Amino acid sequence: MNAPTSAALLSVQDLRIVFDGRRGPLTALDGVSFEIAPGEILGVVGESGAGKSLTGTAVIGLLDPPGRISGGSILLNGQRIDDLPAEAMRKLRGRQIGAIFQDPLTSLHPLLTVGDQLVETIMTHLPVSKAQARERALQLLREVGIPAAETRIDQHPHQFSGGMRQRVVIALALCAEPKLIIADEPTTALDVSIQAQITTLLKRLCREHGTAIMLVTHDMGVIAETADRVAVMYAGRIVEIGPVEEVTRRPRHPYTAGLMASIPSVHQRHAELNQIDGSMPRLNAIPAGCAFNPRCGSATSFCREHKPGLPPSGHAAACHFPLREAAHA
């Protein structure tokens, strides 16, 4: 990718992550580059093991040994953050970068009321009194759609439904008015109707607060409904990136086309679902050339020998022979 643009809030450049093992380092992320602008939702999608959550973990500074960043950079508002000391990163986390995780129950302390958790987080990052923090906590609970917030603020997480707990987690992520939120599978543990409510809420908060969101998910449907742009990951690399409507309707990488073809159609109720043969390669068995070549019906000997690059801008695909006319209705 070219040098980061001045409009980018988050700029990830050629990020490489390895896991050190007894037989040497294993590459988990291999040259990942992308940007997110203020107020933009970037969806990051792919099968399990593609590197989606690992990318978010690296951005928020929660990568634990034996994983380590071996190359590249992460910039927030032009400031490099991937090499910050642990204490400096801890202060940045929450204040400038918020997080929404997959399971809202494990994201909340079971012995503290949701109000205590909100107030403590607010007072940690903002210069306010306890009374002011509680008032802001009430405001946030109302904003994320918690009914009777004045009563619910003094209840414990187990007294909330799954959807309501996820709303509390979103309120926690917004406590200190962060510029960026990493949302890692925020709707996976919820039923379909609650998923729709949460994605609508994220979009509204993004627009109203100007907050950038990196939305990590395996669900192309959630991406299509929520994101402005989408990055498709495979085997630790971005294989396609671009505006969500272009990528979903006119995919250029065979892997993206396969993901789109596997989505059930509302028009063909009894049609068999398409599937991508094979599975994501293990870190110690990533094929030479294009990592997707063993599962690609159009792979050639050139694909098996040469790793494709990702063009630096626009709707781009890391493919030697990108699809031109493919469209997903």
- The DSSP-derived string for 147-178 is TTHHHHTTS-GGGS-HHHHHHHHHHHHHTT--
Assigned domain for 260 exists: no
Q: Identify the CATH number of the domain in which residue 214 sits.
A: 3.40.50.300
Q: Output the pLDDT for position 186.
A: 86
Assigned domain for 295 exists: no
Assigned domain for 158 exists: yes
Lowest mean pLDDT among 56-60, 96-100, 107-111, 184-188: 184-188
Rounded Cα distance between 149 and 164, Å, is 11
Residue 3 confidence class, pLDDT cut points 50, 70, 90: very low
- pLDDT of 78 above 60: yes
Tens digits of residue pLDDT in 191-248: 787 888 888 888 888 888 889 999 999 888 889 889 999 999 999 999 999 999 999 9
Residue 268 confidence class, pLDDT cut points 50, 70, 90: low
- pLDDT of 26 above 50: yes
Question: Max CA-CA distance within the chain?
Answer: 67
Q: Which domain holds residue 86?
A: 10-49+58-236
Per-residue tokens: 297: 């019906």
Rounded Cα distance between 137 and 96, Å, is 18
Buried b (16+ CB within 10 A) or exposed e, 82-102: bebeeeebeebbbbbbbbbbb
Number of structural domains in the chain: 1
Percent of the chain with pLDDT over 70: 94
Assigned domain for 99 exists: yes
Percent of the chain with pLDDT over 90: 68
- pLDDT of 25 above 50: yes
